[in-house]
A = this chain, B = another copy of it.
């Protein structure tokens, strides 16, 4: 399975976790993060539309994955991200990391998420009854990069 995938199709996060965990060999620790389309404050989210920069996206994700692997000595890492129109409750994306000890797997997954959030070319648009609006970038997401 390609460790970096960008796809329109839905995915099964449990099946992905199992597939990932069978390939990690001597690793004792597996961490996963899944992002799920959720209701915004208003509570009437109808859909989430995700645009991306085909071509740049996979390149950016592969670079982030390679950096995480090297930096935290991971035995494996995967990134999966959807684009297109998603319904509330749909999984948007997922990362998973594997390492001998848990601290590296946790740090690797957080690193992947921090970079993916602010450095991978995806843009989210929330569709509600009152219209559609692009999600604003959060300052915390940009700030999160400074810790690495």
Residues of A within 8 A of B (CB): 12-18, 21, 24, 26-39, 91, 100-103, 105-106, 109-110, 113, 140, 144
Contacts and interface: CB of A to CB of B under 8 A. Distances in A.
Q: Is the interface of A mostly helix, strand, loop or mixed?
A: mixed
Contact of A105 (B33, B38, B39, B140): B33
22 contacts: A12-B14, A12-B18, A13-B21, A14-B18, A21-B34, A24-B36, A27-B38, A28-B38, A29-B33, A29-B35, A29-B36, A30-B32, A30-B34, A30-B35, A31-B32, A31-B34, A32-B32, A32-B34, A101-B140, A102-B110, A102-B113, A103-B140
Given A13-B18, A17-B17, A21-B13, A33 B100 contact: no
